[in-house]
Chain A
Amino acid sequence: MVGDTVHAGFPSPAEDFAVERMDLTTILVTHPQATFIVRLRGDSMREVGIFDGDLLVVNRALKPIHSDVVLAVVDGEFTCKTLWLRHGRMKLKPANPTYPEIVPKDGQIVEIWGVVTATIKRFRV
């Protein structure tokens, strides 16, 4: 299907030093199959610098650890909070004192959907 190409003349002097331009996708997305983009609404995460309207880069391939910013599912809805994991207990902490912590009640399932690895803010297009 592809014909062989024949190189004639001098090889390009640049070939041995070939570098590629930095690519934002490869910087922000380490696991392409596991990465999703989600938009944040609300201001309960403002003290970690995530504001209403920001885009979250969410990676499902990472194992969530204490103090990660995570996308969680609480009562069937997506919410973004800081994960608190200590002494075998788990809670979701907002980064804004006017919001309450989310502590799973008995029998309530809180799922960590993915780890927020970056946010994208745009000031103008």
Chain B
Amino acid sequence: MFALVDGNNFYATCETVFRPALAGRPLVVLSNNDGCAVARSEAAKALGIKMGALWFQIARLVESDGLIGLSANFPLYGDMSNRMMSLAAGLGPTQEICSIDESFIGLDGMRGDLVERAHKIRARILQWVGIPCGIGIGGTKTLAKLANHVAKSAERKPGSYPANLARVCSFAVLSADEQQAVLQATAVGDVWGVGRRIGAQLKEGGVNTAWDLARLDPATVRRRWSVVLERTVRELRGQSCIPLEDAPSNKKQIAVTRSFGRSVSELGPMLEAVSEFASRAGEKLRKQGSFASQVYVFAHTSPFRPPPQFSRGVMVPLRRPTADSALLVAAAIAGMRRIYEPGYQLAKCGVMLLDLVESSLYQAELDLEPGEDRDQSHLMGTIDQLNRRFGKRTVFVGSAGVPQAHEWAMRQERRTPQYTTRLADVPIARA
């Protein structure tokens, strides 16, 4: 059994926690040099602003509708994510953090009413951190994801699904009839793992809902489409095919995380782990043709072990967007050195690449610091090829210097303070 926990409009909500006056107002968070919207408040969605909307096209709404645009504040989101994730981990024994605002929890071995437990964890995250979450529970990751979609839609758009499924939805406790109704109310394109192109093909073939997809013959699906879609069909039928820690990568951010087989307390193995994760994340990054601007590194102890507990993460900004493994690894190492402290039995760590830009759209700067940003794309392509051909980690970055964090290099005109990560930036209260 799995649960999927994710924060609603995560970046926008993080901003609202520290600026309560923004609650209920149309708000977008801008990324890529304030170029496009990467998060929207409910009120901003109601204005018809789409994900990825270009700021210059929606800026007119500032005057007409009071739209607020804020520069993405990654240090803040990283810290709020860390708080949220470590509370979400209390749902079950294993956790896979798949992005900054989303994690799967393995629920095997958990006793008692899981829905009630999920409601309690949700309430705790909301009260302690200020972030409202949706929680979906299901026998497979695809069903947990679908249940999460139901939980959020039922809250956001009353009438889309039964109201009692809002906020927390467990597919597992529904009757067969209710399950069918939920699958029939879910568009095939909203199923995890069904991309836009496949979704359109399916619709052409008369497969419109998750229910239609679940009823296809898996062998036929494999022949006509792919093993991946076959896996989705089986998962929709309740047959678990995707284990934890093997999620398809999200296009907007790339995460490589892992729970250790046994706990680790020395710095050396932690540095090795994050170096490897950063290399693998870099590989995924290049495969989708993106550059990353921020590297988030985190580590924590198991929430099921007695104290002392440790849960820390740090956002390392890059000098400029890059897909160079050497720079990504160096940033990850710098981050781990920053958060590491001896004396803790660490159970998990990970590396996330954020603030991704398409490499084709990346606007190069005049190179004033020669040596740091040599074009490494050819070298990196060769490394990826060697690793594909001869196995993972055939060739990897052996050592790397520590890059300086040049925050000034980023264009962030609407930047909010780093409320939780810099003393000079803490919120102000009047008395």
Interface of A toward B, CB cutoff 8 Å:
1-2, 20, 31-34, 36-45, 50, 52, 55-56, 60-61, 71, 73, 75-81, 94, 111, 113
Contacts and interface: CB of A to CB of B under 8 A. Distances in A.
A77 B269 CA distance: 46
Contacts, number: 91
B177 to A, nearest CB: 40
A78 B128 contact: no
Interface string B21-65: 111000000000000000000000000000000000000000000
Contact of B431 (A32, A36, A55, A94): A94
Determine which residue in A2, A38, A52, A71 has the highest number of CB atoms from chain B within 10 A of its CB, and name it.
A2
Given A33-B129, A76-B22, 13 more contacts: A2-B266, A31-B128, A33-B83, A33-B84, A33-B87, A36-B420, A38-B427, A39-B426, A39-B428, A41-B430, A52-B431, A60-B127, A61-B127
B423 interface: yes
Contacts of B419: 36
Contact of A37 (B22, B309, B426): B426
A41 B127 contact: no
Interface of B: 19-23, 83-84, 86-87, 127-130, 260-262, 264, 266, 269, 272-273, 309, 311, 343, 419-420, 423, 426-431
28 contacts: A1-B260, A1-B269, A1-B272, A32-B83, A32-B309, A33-B83, A33-B84, A34-B129, A36-B426, A37-B426, A38-B428, A39-B426, A40-B429, A44-B430, A44-B431, A55-B426, A60-B130, A61-B127, A71-B429, A73-B20, A77-B21, A78-B429, A79-B430, A79-B431, A80-B429, A81-B431, A94-B431, A111-B20
Nearest to B263: A2
The 8 A-B residue pairs with the shortest CB-CB distance, nearest first, are: A76-B21, A34-B128, A78-B429, A42-B431, A33-B83, A44-B431, A73-B20, A80-B431
A116 B431 CA distance: 13
A41 B429 contact: yes
A2 B264 contact: yes
A40 B427 CA distance: 9
A123 B15 CA distance: 32
A32 B301 CA distance: 14
A77 B423 contact: no
Given A2-B266, A111-B20, A113-B20, A78 B427 contact: yes
Contacts of B273: 1
Contacts of A33: 83-84, 86-87, 128-129, 311
A60 B270 CA distance: 32
A41 B431 contact: yes
Nearest to B20: A73
Nearest to B84: A33
Nearest to B82: A33
A39 B272 contact: no
A1 B273 CA distance: 8
Contacts of B129: 33-34, 60
B269 A79 contact: no
Contacts of A41: 428-431
A54 B419 CA distance: 16
A56 B429 contact: yes
